[in-house]
Chain A
């Protein structure tokens, strides 16, 4: 099957090889969670909820009393794929992805600031259309930031592949299931550090580099978008909260100046008429 049209250079869903699917991020979708987010990459749609930092629920799991315990659970909804199938909890694939997400997020969370507590991340795939791993990490980042958990940097992830001797960014399900190489990269966007790199096929060294470069470019674009979403959300919350405190404190400021003026006057008075108190 042709995944890239040799004449036009377009992919099966009409994208250019280095084009990403449409992104959509929304914060605050789960009412009871401390932080939550929905993230869409084209038709892939993921929801993430963060609970914590809270008291460690099962004391045996606590590794050290100096750092927070991070846990992650990944699940695919029964209706997320084309064929509706009941998926057993804790199968090999979802355990592996849970682990991957946990390790990636743990690299960014400043766990030493929240000793003796635990952070739970729950990610659920609502629609799977390739790149669920990447979408889950992006959603988890948004949810963690919404929960006000201190992080070193924004973690973003994006996949890239190599089909029909063309590097392709952000594979969808059809391209994903073509059996070609699929590179998922997760980076700390500002520090330019790689926290996740997975590939399930073989690639020549030089091709791999171009594919990875492409994925990193994708990650950076996602980071830019996520930052916009977060900043807009922060501004909205702050604007609604109340008028800035300067409206109140302006009054106090005036008073302080007044007192200072009186003080200066007394000083001048003392200087003029001797210092017999």
Chain B
């Protein structure tokens, strides 16, 4: 209920509570057992050589959590996985960010990390697609590539010696994102997957799930087409030609609202779940703006509870 201000009526409240309660009962007991809050002692069964990972500290020989989250154990390593914290970058993550500043030879991006990320001019493909040294002219023309407030998709390159985070965009699929919506959700709701770019053919839309919790829903762009637009400055007729059709805009809004509802409910966002939610809204005749209302919110919660219950039943059936 963090992001949506809903006024539920009595029946909706009861239904929502029932659905959320079911989600809690479905979740295995180990989940609630592993949850810790700040300054809780993490039980370790006297193994002398455990490794204390993130979110833990040593106090008088006890392992104590410094964060609220869930205790994870990997062999000897014990760490606390946070929920609702800012994004922690890992090398190779695909992220979406917003340009906030142009500095010499670099752009600064807001990516929901504790510092701003840096995208160097030298670590991205030039619009003409030729590999060459970046000249002073390129540096002067940086604003023609990305301006302030542009939304960009890039990849985490790594930390530099001075602790700053560097990005790279060395592929055609990275770059400026246009004609769509940027949605910001808590970073823990996006899982690292093989695939973060999704082309939703039935909607003619692109969905990019940035690991940092920035989600892009926009008109489908054929890779490589972007560059042509940049080279020959589009005339007015080309502009009209490239106009996003109303139907596609509607689809984008629908997908965007599906993401909003799911993130307000705190469900992990996957492409399948987002599509499923958008389709459910179509099949039960919800207008796009009504998707953010109380009724759809409750229905989504109920659907997810049912889906998980089915999954659980199927699993226990095969065991």
What is A's interface to B at a CB cutoff of 8 Å? 28, 31, 34-35, 52-55, 68, 110, 114-117, 145-154, 189-191, 227, 230-231, 233-244, 246-247, 250
Contact = CB atoms under 8 A, between A and B. Distances in A.
B297 interface: no
Given A31-B3, A227-B39, A237-B266, A148 B86 contact: yes
Contact of B311 (A35, A146, A227, A243): A243
A239 B31 contact: yes
B35 interface: yes
Nearest to B67: A150
B267 A240 contact: yes
Contacts of A241: 83, 188-189, 266-268
B79 to A, nearest CB: 12
Nearest to A242: B268
Given A153-B38, A191-B59, A227-B39, 15 more contacts: A28-B2, A53-B114, A54-B115, A110-B66, A114-B114, A145-B38, A148-B67, A190-B64, A230-B68, A238-B70, A240-B20, A240-B266, A241-B83, A242-B267, A242-B268
Given A153-B39, A233-B68, A247-B311, A147 B84 contact: yes
A148 B38 contact: no
A248 to B, nearest CB: 10
B118 to A, nearest CB: 11
B120 interface: no
A154 B39 contact: yes
Given A53-B86, A153-B38, A190-B64, A244 B55 contact: no
B133 interface: no
A55 B37 contact: no
A2 to B, nearest CB: 41
B114 A236 contact: no
A59 to B, nearest CB: 12
Interface stretch (B22-30, B43-51, B90-98, B285-293): B22-30
B229 interface: no
B39 A239 contact: no
Contacts of A247: 311-312, 315
A31 to B, nearest CB: 5
A234 B69 contact: yes
A263 B59 CA distance: 44
A55 B115 contact: yes
Given A150-B55, A230-B37, A238 B28 contact: no
A157 to B, nearest CB: 15
A222 to B, nearest CB: 13
Given A31-B2, A148-B67, A189-B39, A239 B315 contact: no
Contacts of A235: 24, 31-32, 35
B189 A238 contact: no
B282 interface: no
Contact of A236 (B24, B40, B69, B312): B24
Interface in B41-76: 55, 57, 59, 64, 66-70
B82 interface: yes
A236 B315 CA distance: 23
Given A152-B66, A239-B31, A241-B189, A117 B83 contact: no
B303 interface: no
Nearest to B164: A116
B188 A234 contact: no
Contacts of B267: 240-242
A68 B163 CA distance: 13
B2 A243 contact: no
B85 interface: yes
Given A53-B114, A190-B64, A243-B312, A238 B59 contact: no
Contacts of A35: 84
Contacts of A114: 114
Instruction: Please provide the 6 A-B residue pairs with the shortest distance between their CB atoms, ordered closest to farther.
Output: A148-B85, A53-B114, A230-B37, A117-B114, A240-B266, A150-B66
A23 B42 CA distance: 27
Contacts of B70: 234, 238
A154 B38 CA distance: 6
The residue among B27, B69, B312 with the most chain A CB atoms within 10 A of its own CB is B27
B155 interface: no
B15 interface: no
A231 B83 contact: no
Contacts of B115: 54-55, 116-117
B261 interface: no
A239 B83 CA distance: 11
B298 interface: no
A250 B265 CA distance: 27
B170 interface: no
A55 B67 contact: no
A238 B23 CA distance: 10
Contacts of B177: none
The residue among A148, A227, A246 with the most chain B CB atoms within 10 A of its own CB is A148
